[in-house]
Structure 1
């Protein structure tokens, strides 16, 4: 069992065990946990031969080595070799004692004998590998390998291994960055002694002497630093934290964001979040264009900062409207001036298009049509859907109005990507997670499979940025009021990616538009996944795919003057109640009961019309299949109500 008698660095690793970030221990010391199995065997062979060739044979004190050291000292009248075993060196490191005085030697010998009685040879070797000094604030071979070579100590070259053997004997006097000649001389002595002892061939030793020694200490890895800070703060008791992040992808996207913001406003920051919408695993999380204190405020994690989402909530509004039976992608809707209790929204370009299909209204990201839909749905329904989708929307005064649909709400990039993951996964996706230890959790259903596909089918028809492939992504851009935030969020058949660009302090970025800044970054981010574009899903079998004139009459044109709130005249699905579980026999027959509204009625099961022109308020349905279904009733004025039910049959 590994033994450490001192604190080691907290480490955050990626899904494959690669180090993303490490945190030094008290007093800024870099000391990292390591076992002999994690270290290059060639280094261990050199270390034992150079420092303690009888390590596995003595009981902590090598009498022959001590006699040899004493004889050499008498003969040469100076200390030639120390005679200390590795166990004695561990004893000195643990008590932070001196090396040369005989009183200190005797104390180390007593402690070494005690260590040998209590610990195995492997444990003693491990303690040396963790505590040996390598210059400056670096202790232990693993921290030294990162500091001097930028890599794990599992695959060291001969020259690198020889330098790490030599450094602990005089860590400050032999530091390669301060005393390169002494470091080289010490390295050469190790190599020549290894050649004399036949640990290395003379040719290998001479070749290793030609390698260049490092001239400066390297920075420790700092991939996904914002996310690493978050998870370590949330789990301070853990010394090793494994994330779902893929280090290579994280590095590529961090470089992409940095390159993007450097070409723009000097205070511009950016963020990218990538997740697998089938598993919920976050694969990359770039919180800024650079983790530093600069005019871009790179220390601020913009994947978690609450900002206005602009038009990025419009797809959810349309999905909810499809679910409620208020509209269909081919439904006609009017885009013209409106005034709702003094609220008169305008389109982004100040123009109105008149009558057009819902599909066109979403593709053009028009404001007036979506406000008409939110008026019919009610802002509370949109807020509820956001919470159901995993977001925690913040609105001034905690009272949502119609402007929520146009970005009048605070959401973070992570929350938006979570909501979009639900759309991407067919209306019900997993909760996003960054820690491997966190188990899969499915979110509540956001919209039906049919509605999710219909929204995605519309968004995949958006024109891509110049030079980007068409039809491979369902995506939406957004720009918040005053050009403070630009967004692009999209998905293919496997991944969902969110992009934000803006200033961390929330001040405007003149001339910034989501379609011009964020959309190209979104497509480039997908390109750097290295997996190609996964095909988007085909339409569910129950999808109603008809032209406008072929739709049931209530779905041919949206009437925004109806359906706002619930009054006695509004239609209500009295039975079955929402959330009910029904046991059906007789070929899946059931009866719907309707209150309010005006006949004739339209009934949809999972977005597919099954009854049209009904005038009775009790409607018999047959052929209901096992599982979850969404029942929707729509009256002649376009008012609707729905219930989500679970159907079971005897014996299952």
Structure 2
């Protein structure tokens, strides 16, 4: 008898061991399939973890990884009370719940309550199958397997990530954002009940469906929660009085250009952490949209806000209207190469000060000057005689800036910019940098300009601006000495604000710029902590009457979003305070200034006139206009927007045939370097007009 019992026990033990080994083998051969958990949306978040912009998965679903700690306790309590009261005590399957469900079906001939635990629902969400008995058995097996491999909070997180919420929404976070407009961390009882109810029949219950029984099912969830003691009668009654949302909201789309670029640079399903301040980003985008009211399409705006102390980007808008095709809104204009106008002048001054070639009190001659075949002139065509370099920079006079660059050397300037990581772009990469750099005859980006001005504000130290929470190793380069940087900052702080705007409470320095043919308007400014850059123009590079002073008005408003931090005053012991040293009293120029009996003038066209021309080439006589000059010393040299026109030697006029409409600046320079300019507007002539 004992031998038989021993043999039976050994047989049962062997059988049990075989079963365990078989289950282990099956577990190894058929591990839990977590691919749907891994196929989640790429999301870009701000510095506080708040959504800036999510992206759909490859199969077009909004599915965000969601953890228990990401969700309101209201929701977790209601979910467990309705779906699985014994979740934390059963092994993945609740036998009593299954037996109860089967008996209810047999007695009532329809489903009264489900027998699936949350773990079984997770198994079904991971591997969707038709509702059959075989599928139910597989769910049971998978539920036991999941409980073997993962703790309860992990399994609950799986459900929070995959629960269907109607349409292409999966997971509590996606449901909360689309139906409620906010994160699930702060849900009211009514909102939590809605998100508990939706997975029961997501297609049928989605709130934007006409005559959907969503409210009735939500109220049933609230009633059961009240019966279970999860909600008080008063809370349940108040929740039932809350209306159901009737439309689906769009997902957040803050910093769309930055988010798109970072999403493309990271593996699918990544959560990309940025340095962006979500509230500041919202304010910047709202302000730029308001700025579009004053500029017609296709003109657009772009802006960057950065902390120059830390080098982090706080807000960035590649355009003011991402979805506006008329304005080419999807092009990121913070990274587009454009002519910077006069915005490089402060960097030229800083390098010249640093090399002790000049001093803010140095006197320069603002007069017609010729550098071989280059004869620059001021924006308004006038000259101001003797001015200090402080005045010259504050009034953005062109001749002193060109003279400084001539002394500094265009090659040296361009080389230094490249060394600090801010290379200038030339149409011909093999060209030797020349004096037109000072007035915008080169290409750069808004990002690089903001980086450069952040360096000026940061004592002359340039570091790449950071936009992600895990930045690459930072390198610092010295652009100029702290004294030279502070001197330029002090000069820029004396620039008057745009007309109609009061000076900012905190001391602020800024510079504007306008490119050839008014294609770009720039304003870059900084205070004691922040640097702001604003660009306005057309993405296609067309003329648009964009000027820096307009961008400056927007920049001033953007600074209003920031706490005031005053720019430090130049110390009295600075080598650039007070009078210029004896060796730097006057800036000598190497250009040629020659007296003329009478400066040249443009006799035709008259400044400010509109020229109606046939730009399609239909009538050659109407395709251009004869430019005519008087006075001065011949031969004349003609330029349109800084580009030379072919003309006969000693002729008083030349022919100009523009190729596109817009604003142009016509300049004539005589043999002495004296010049005159006229701004005109070209309009297309209609056929037969």
Q: Normalization by structure 2: what TM-score?
A: 0.78
Alpha-carbon distance between aligned partners in 1 of 2:478 and 2:150, rounded to the nearest angstrom: 56
Aligned mate of 2:526, from 474, 491, 498 = 491
Q: Tell me if the contact between 2:365 and 2:386 (Cα under 8 Å) persists in the aligned partners.
A: yes
Alpha-carbon distance between aligned partners in 1 of 2:584 and 2:408, rounded to the nearest angstrom: 15
Alpha-carbon distance between aligned partners in 2 of 1:423 and 1:361, rounded to the nearest angstrom: 18
Larger Rg: 2
Match of 1:94 in 2: 126
Aligned mate of 2:443, from 389, 407, 410 = 410
1:269 aligns to what SS in structure 2?
A: strand
Alpha-carbon distance between aligned partners in 1 of 2:573 and 2:269, rounded to the nearest angstrom: 48
Alpha-carbon distance between aligned partners in 2 of 1:102 and 1:237, rounded to the nearest angstrom: 36
Alpha-carbon distance between aligned partners in 2 of 1:244 and 1:213, rounded to the nearest angstrom: 36
Match of 1:582 in 2: none
Q: Tell me if the contact between 2:41 and 2:269 (Cα under 8 Å) persists in the aligned partners.
A: no
Pairing of 1:430-579 with structure 2 (within 5 A): 430-438=463-471, 441-465=474-498, 466-469=500-503, 472-510=507-545, 512-515=546-549, 517-529=550-562, 531-539=563-571, 541-547=573-579, 551-552=581-582, 554-561=583-590
Alpha-carbon distance between aligned partners in 2 of 1:439 and 1:25, rounded to the nearest angstrom: 27
Residue 30, structure 1, aligned to residue 68, structure 2: no
Q: Tell me if the contact between 1:173 and 1:179 (Cα under 8 Å) persists in the aligned partners.
A: no
- Post-superposition Cα deviations, 1:496-547, rounded to whole Å, max 9, x if no partner, equal 111101111111113x2211x1111111111111x12433243273424333
Match of 1:54 in 2: 86
Alpha-carbon distance between aligned partners in 1 of 2:190 and 2:338, rounded to the nearest angstrom: 52
Q: Tell me if the contact between 2:299 and 2:538 (Cα under 8 Å) persists in the aligned partners.
A: yes
Q: What are structure 1's unaligned runs of at least 5 residues?
A: 563-652
Pairing of 1:235-314 with structure 2 (within 5 A): 235-236=266-267, 239-314=270-345
CA shift at 1:235, angstroms?
3.0
Match of 1:613 in 2: none
CA shift at 1:153, angstroms?
0.9
Residues 117 and 366 of structure 1: CA distance in aligned 2, closer, same or farther (over 3 Å): same
- Post-superposition Cα deviations, 1:200-247, rounded to whole Å, max 9, x if no partner, equal 111211110111111111111111111112222233377121111100
1:295 aligns to what SS in structure 2?
A: helix
Alpha-carbon distance between aligned partners in 1 of 2:268 and 2:412, rounded to the nearest angstrom: 40
Residue 63, structure 1, aligned to residue 101, structure 2: no
Q: Normalization by structure 1: what TM-score?
A: 0.82
CA shift at 1:103, angstroms?
2.8
2:555 aligns to what SS in structure 1?
A: helix
Residues 359 and 5 of structure 1: CA distance in aligned 2, closer, same or farther (over 3 Å): closer
2:316 aligns to what SS in structure 1?
A: strand
- Please give the root-mean-square deviation of Cα atoms over the aligned residues, in Å: 1.8
Q: What are structure 2's unaligned runs of at least 5 residues?
A: 1-33, 592-689
Aligned length in residues? 554
Residue 221, structure 1, aligned to residue 256, structure 2: no
CA shift at 1:313, angstroms?
0.5
Residue 315, structure 1, aligned to residue 346, structure 2: yes
Q: Tell me if the contact between 2:484 and 2:576 (Cα under 8 Å) persists in the aligned partners.
A: no
1:176 aligns to what SS in structure 2?
A: coil
Alpha-carbon distance between aligned partners in 1 of 2:263 and 2:242, rounded to the nearest angstrom: 38
Q: Tell me if the contact between 1:526 and 1:533 (Cα under 8 Å) persists in the aligned partners.
A: no
CA shift at 1:439, angstroms?
5.7
Higher alpha-carbon deviation: 20-29 or 183-192: 20-29
CA shift at 1:472, angstroms?
1.7
Aligned mate of 2:226, from 195, 203, 211 = 195
Match of 1:570 in 2: none
Residue 171, structure 1, aligned to residue 202, structure 2: yes
Alpha-carbon distance between aligned partners in 1 of 2:99 and 2:495, rounded to the nearest angstrom: 83
1:245 aligns to what SS in structure 2?
A: coil
